[in-house]
Structure 1
Amino acid sequence: MSDGRRPPPTVRLRRLAAELRRLRAATDLTREEVTEKTGINAATLYRVEKAQAKPQKRTLLALLDLYEAAEEQRANLLAIQRGSDDRGWLRPYHAELYEEYAAYIGFEAEAHTVRNYESLFIPGLAQTEPYARAVIRGVLPTASQKAIEQRVQVRMERQALLAKEDPLRLWAIVDEAAVRRMVGSSEVMREQALHLLQLVQEPHITFQVIPFDKGAHVGMSGSFVHMDFPDPADPEVVYVDTRAGDVFLESEAELRHYKSMFEHLQAVAMGPNDSADLLTKVAEARD
C-alpha cells in the first residue's frame, strides 16, 4: 500500500522543470496565462515547474507548442520526459527513508562533484561503518536497531560512488571539531582517521580541516552540500540540513552564496597535506 508520499525528484525531472520555466519566462507568460491558453490545470503546471510531478506527454507537447520550442529542444525535452522516472539507485528498504534524504541520495548518485562542509561530523561519504553507526545512534536516540542498521547500510552503499570506474569527485572541508570529537570510542576514532588518510590518497578526493585557531568563520552558520552534474544543463543544487527540515536550494542567488561560502572555507582551511598531518596526529593520539 502506498504511504501517500510523493516520490523524490530525479535530476532529469529537475532539468525538465528548469527548462520549462526558462521557456515560459522567454515568452513573458505568467502561469495563469499559460493555463488560459492551454487549458492545463494551474496546480498541475505549478507542480510540473517545481519538479513535483512528471508532465504527461500531451501536457508537455501543449507547453512546447505554446512556447514555440525548436525541434531539437522539443526532441531533447521529450526524451528527458520519457526517462525522468529512472531511479536505479533505489533499494526496497529506501522507501522507509524520509523523502528529502531519498531525494538527496538520488541526486548524489548522479552528481559529478560533491562539495561538502561539515562542522561536527565526518562527511557521510567518508565515514567508517562503526563511526556511522555511533553517529546515527547518537543523533537518533529513539530509533530502533533496525532503523539504525538500515541507515548505516544506505550510508555504506553511497560510498561505492567513490570507487566506481568514473568516480564521484568529493571535496570535503570539516571543522577540527569533526575530527577531534569522540564518537563511539577511541578505537572508532582511530579507525576513522586512518580511513580518511587512505581516502585522501585518491586523486578525486580532497579533504581539508579548519583548525580551531582560525577562530570564527563562515561555516559556523551550518553544514551544507553543493552538487553539480555531468551535463552542464542539469541544474546544480545545494542541500542544507536545518532544524526546521532539509532544504534544497537551486536559485542562482542561492548557488552563488554557497559557492562563495565554500571558497572562503577553502581559503581558511589547512591545505590537504597539513590536514593529512593532523589526521595522523589524531590517529596516533588514539593508540
Structure 2
Amino acid sequence: MAHPRQAPTVRLRRLAMELRQLRERTGLSREQVAGATDINRATLYRIETAQAKPQVRTLRALLSVYGVPATRQDELVAILKLAKEESWLQGTSEGLPDQYATYIGFEHEAQELLNYESSFVPGLLQTEAYARAAIPGSDPELPPDEVEKRVVARMTRQAQRGPSLPLWAIIDEAVLHRQVGGPKVMRQQVERLVNDSEQPQVTLQVMPYNAGVHPGMHGSFVILRFSEGVHDVVYIETSAADLFLDSEKALQRYNLIFERLQATAASPTESRDMMASLIRNT
C-alpha cells in the first residue's frame, strides 16, 4: 500500500529554494549537475521543488559543485536536519489531498495569516457543526470517511494554532447570511465570530454589501507570512486545483489587494456590531 507523501515543511521549502538559486547562479542546468554528481535529474528536480528530502551526502555533493563555502554548507545541513522533524500533520494527513496537506503544513509554520473569504467562514474560525455542513456541501462527491478526516483536520488546525499567531480575516457579508447547516448552526457560528473577534490576535472585518465592487470579488485567498529568509506564499483554493504562488509579482499583487480590502471593509468594531446585530435579530 502506497504511503501518502508528507507535506513539505517551511524549512525544506527554504532549502529547496536555496539549492535552486545556487544552481541557477552557477549557470548550470540540471543535466550538467546530474553529470557532475551522479544524482539523477528527476531526483534533483524533486529536491529543488521540495518534493523530496536529500540525504546529507547528496546535499554536500550539490553544495560542493556550487562552490559553497564549508561554513555555509554546515548551516544548510543543519536546516536539512531540522526539516526532518515531524509536525502534528504528519500523523494525521493520511486521506487528505496532497495540496491541502501542504497548505496545513505551511499554515502551522506561518508567522502571520491574512485571509479573505467570499463564501465561507475562514477554516480557523469555523465551529465543528459549521465545518460538518460546509465540507460535504461544497464537495458532494466526498465519501463520509473523507468528510470526517477533513473535519478532524480542521479542528486540529484550530487546536494547534499558536495563541500568538496573528490572523487578519476579511469576510464578505454574504458569508454571514448564507445558511450553512441551518439557522441554529449559523447563529452559533456568528456568535463564535463575535467572540473570536475580541481576541487580541484576531482581527475580523466584514465586507458589506454596500461597498460595491471590490478586488476580492475575484475569489478567496490566504497570504501566509513566514520568518525572515523564507518567502511568503499566496494560497488559492479552487474546485480544480490548489495554487501556491510565491513570485514577487504575485506577492505584491495580493498584498495590494488585501490592503485595499482592509481599507474598504467595515472596521473591526463596525464589523463586530454588524454581527452582534445579526444575532439579536435571529
TM-score (norm 1): 0.92
Report the alpha carbon displacement of residue 272 of structure 1 after superposing the two structures with TM.
Answer: 0.6
Give the residue type in structure 1 aligned to 2:195. Q
**Percent identity (aligned):** 48
Post-superposition offset of 1:251? 1.7
| Counterpart for residue 220 of structure 1 | 217
Does the CA contact (< 8 Å) of 2:92 and 2:153 recur in 1?
no
Work out whether residues 18 and 49 of structure 1, in 8 Å CA contact, stay in contact via their aligned partners in 2. Answer: yes
Task: Give yes or no for contact 1:171–1:205 (8 Å, CA) kept in 2.
Answer: yes
Shift of 1:92: 4.5
Alignment of 1:191-270 (within 5 A): 191-229=188-226, 231-270=227-266
Deviates more, 1:63-72 or 1:87-96: 87-96
Corresponding residue of 1:2: 2
Rounded to whole Å, the distance in 2 between the matches of 1:28 and 1:251 is: 21
1-structure distance, mates of 2:221, 2:169: 10
CA contact (8 A) 1:118 1:175 kept: yes
Deviation readout 1:189-233 (Å, 9 max, x if unpaired): 11111111111111111111111111111111111111112x311
Deviation at residue 97 of structure 1 after TM alignment = 0.8
Deviations 1:228-282 (A, max 9, x none): 12x3112211111123211111122222221111112111111111111111112
**92-101 vs 172-181, which deviates more?**
92-101
Question: Shift of the alpha carbon at 1:125?
Answer: 0.2
Q: TM-score, normalized by length of structure 2? A: 0.94
> Pairwise mapping of residues 64-83 of structure 1 onto structure 2 (< 5 A)?
64-83=63-82
1:190–1:284 Cα contact (<8 Å) kept? no
Residue 56 of structure 2 aligns with which residue?
57
Whole-angstrom CA distance in 2 between matches of 1:45 and 1:150? 33
Aligned-pair RMSD on alpha carbons? 1.7
Aligned residues: 282
Find the partner of 2:182 among 180, 185, 188. 185
Tell me the CA shift for residue 51 of structure 1: 0.9
Task: Give deviations 1:98-150, integer Å, cap 9, x for gaps.
Answer: 11111111111111111111100000000111111111131132333333222
CA contact (8 A) 1:87 1:106 kept: no
Contact residue 96 and residue 149 of structure 2 kept, 8 A:
no
CA distance in 1, matches of 2:85, 2:255: 29
8 A contact 1:14–1:235 mirrored in 2: no
Distance 1:253 1:122 in 2: 28
Partners of 1:6 and 1:184 in 2: CA distance: 33
Question: What is the deviation of 1:52?
Answer: 1.2
Amino acid of the structure 1 residue aligned with 2:2: S
Q: Which residue of 1 aligns with 2:136?
A: 137
Write the letter of the residue equivalent to 2:59.
Answer: L
* Alignment deviations for residues 2-48 of structure 1 (CA, whole Å, 9 cap, x no partner): 25x43321111101001112222332333233233333222121111
Which residue in 2 is equivalent to 1:98?
A: 97
Deviation at 1:73, TM superposition (A): 2.1
Q: What CA deviation, in whole Å up to 9, does each residue of 1:28-86 have, x standing for no partner?
A: 33323323333322212111111111112222111111222233321121012123232
